[in-house]
Amino acid sequence: MTWGRLGAGVAVLALTGAVLAGDTESVTLSTGPMMERAQEWFRLAPEYSQDACFRADGGYQGTDWSAVLGGCRWPYYRTDCSGFVSMVWGLPFSYATPRAGLDSDLTDVSTVITKDELRTGDALLAWGRHVRLFVRWTDAARTRYLAFDFGATPVKHQVYVWAGAGEYDYVPIRYRAPV
């Protein structure tokens, strides 16, 4: 199932499931390129800003808002949640978190999946608000998960409770190459 153009009143799917478990004390991530990029930004701790572009081996440059989608083009990415996910997914520029009025956003390069289908490198999207990078479940009941989160400085790498108090209603998404 693909996104298409959804409005702010997205119906959140009731998702359940169980499988994978792991302890949160000894975090070992996949050595794939996506997780290597996520870990590098986590280590370098760029400053959160929607007006800056960052590159791991090149530092910062300004954002050119006259350019497509916020003006951060590969190898630079905007230092916010959607820029972080765009960088991890290796996109050609920083896509935005979807919200009304945007012509292009992360829904253009992703597909909605179920909670049961989540795997390392997928994302959790709160329409018009935020996006996190899913790493793995930390319990067999799939009530807690490890994620990278760039909603403030620095990039966080921590455990979250699925649908926990104060959490947005996240919809799981998976990168798909644009056609």
Side-chain-facing half-sphere of 172: CA atoms under 13 Å: 21
Per-residue H/E/C for 147-166 = EEECCCCCCEEEEEECCCCC
One-letter amino acid at 154 equals P
Q: Is the pLDDT of residue 67 over 70?
A: no
Residue that wins the pLDDT comparison between 28 and 89: 89
In this predicted structure, what is the pLDDT of residue 23? 33
Cα 101 from chain centroid?
A: 21
Average pLDDT over residues 48-72: 83
What confidence tens digit (pLDDT) does each residue in 140-164 have?
Answer: 999 999 999 999 889 999 999 998 9
In this predicted structure, what is the pLDDT of residue 28? 43
Residue that wins the pLDDT comparison between 15 and 169: 169
What confidence tens digit (pLDDT) does each residue in 23-56 have?
Answer: 333 334 455 899 999 999 999 999 999 889 999 9
In this predicted structure, what is the pLDDT of residue 71? 75
Decide: 15 and 70 in contact? Cβ < 8 Å: no
**Which helix or strand (DSSP H or E) is residue 44 part of?**
helix 33-44
In this predicted structure, what is the pLDDT of residue 31? 53
Domains of the chain: 33-175 (3.90.1720)
Decide: 99 and 8 in contact? Cβ < 8 Å: yes
Mean pLDDT across the chain? 81
Q: Is the pLDDT of residue 61 over 60?
A: yes
Q: Pairing relation of β-strands 110-112 and 77-79? A: unpaired
Write down the residue that tokens 């409005």 correspond to. 7
